[in-house]
Structure 1
Amino acid sequence: MKKILIAFFLLAGITTYAQEDVKVEGNTVTIKESSPVWPGCDNKADKDGCFNKMLMQHVKTNFKYPKNDKGEYIRGKVTIKMEVNEEGRVVVNSVDGKYPQLNAEAKRMMEAAPKMTPGKRGGKATAIKYTIPLTF
């Protein structure tokens, strides 16, 4: 009787705390992770490819080249570290580049990205981090 109760509670505990998109086989635990989805990419087969395409289109249409004191356009490289948070908003963590004006414009441009469907890990919304190098 004691063994039956222990088996019952063990089985009930396993099924009660099971998570969506989590697979356990022996000593291996696999958690399914999905990337954020850019608006308009919901019905595409290659959502990651669509995300990259739409991100580059966003950069092309929203980036405004800043000018220096002489009135010349500033060009250079920047590295943007950002994340798409649990609500689907872009949060820029840091922008590294040689020119402060270029860094500020890159940050403004990335924060102007539209709200997305957030990435998921184990069926729950989670922040997904990106590092994007850009040359302007």
Structure 2
Amino acid sequence: MKKFLVITCFLFGGIAAAQAQQTSPVWPGCEEVEDQSKCFNEKLAEHVRNNYEFPMKGNEYIRGKVTVSFDVTENGEVVVKSVEGPKPEVNAAARKMLEKIPDMKPGTLNGEPDTRNFTTTYQF
């Protein structure tokens, strides 16, 4: 019986630990929206559309694929971690666009501010 009680305590303790409360960062303008994660993704996509400036070579736009990684820190600041792709001009334009992401309310883990990493690939 004692073993059963110990196993039960570990089981319920593990379930409680696995159910940590986590929230996404809140992009400015998404504070009152029910699905803030969806709003974050929509605002990020809008930011990319409005702020990415295609580099040019002569009269032609330089296009390319980049993988970007950035953090939203526990202070709500956006820190670009990496921008990787085969075309340096596209990488530089993507980095410049990411650096314009506004500060926001940070994500939380169990009620405490927490740094979140975002990694995605764009085809420009």
TM range (shorter): 0.7 to 0.9
Instruction: Work out which of the two has the higher radius of gyration on C-alpha atoms and give 1 or 2.
Output: 1
Q: What residue identity is the alignment partner of 2:23?
A: S
Which of 20, 26, 35 aligns to 2:24? It is 35
Q: Does 1:65 align with 2:29?
A: no
What is the aligned residue count?
A: 112
For residues 73 and 108 of structure 1, the distance between their equivalents in structure 2, rounded to whole angstroms, comes to 17
Q: How does 1:4-83 map to 2 (within 5 A)?
A: 25-28=12-15, 29=17, 30-68=19-57, 70-83=58-71
Q: Among the aligned pairs, what percent are the same residue?
A: 42
Unaligned 5+ runs, structure 2: 1-10
TM-score, normalization: structure 2? 0.84
> What is the identity, as a one-letter code, of the residue corresponding to 2:13?
G
Cα RMSD after superposing both structures: 1.4
Question: Which deviations, in whole Å up to 9, do the C-alpha atoms of 1:74-95 show, x marking residues without a partner?
Answer: 0011110111011111111101
Helix, strand or coil at the partner of 2:61: coil
- How far apart in 1 are the matches of 2:97 and 2:14? 45
Deviations, residues 66-125 of structure 1 (Å, cap 9, x unaligned): 112x34210011110111011111111101111111101101111101111001112111
TM-score by structure 1 length?
Answer: 0.77
Gaps of at least 5 residues in structure 1 are 1-23
Look up the equivalent residue of 1:119 and give its one-letter code.
G
Q: Secondary structure at the match of 1:31?
A: coil
Tell me how far apart the structure 1 counterparts of residues 14 and 69 of structure 2 sit (CA, whole Å). 34
Residue 27 of structure 1 deviates from its aligned partner by 3.4
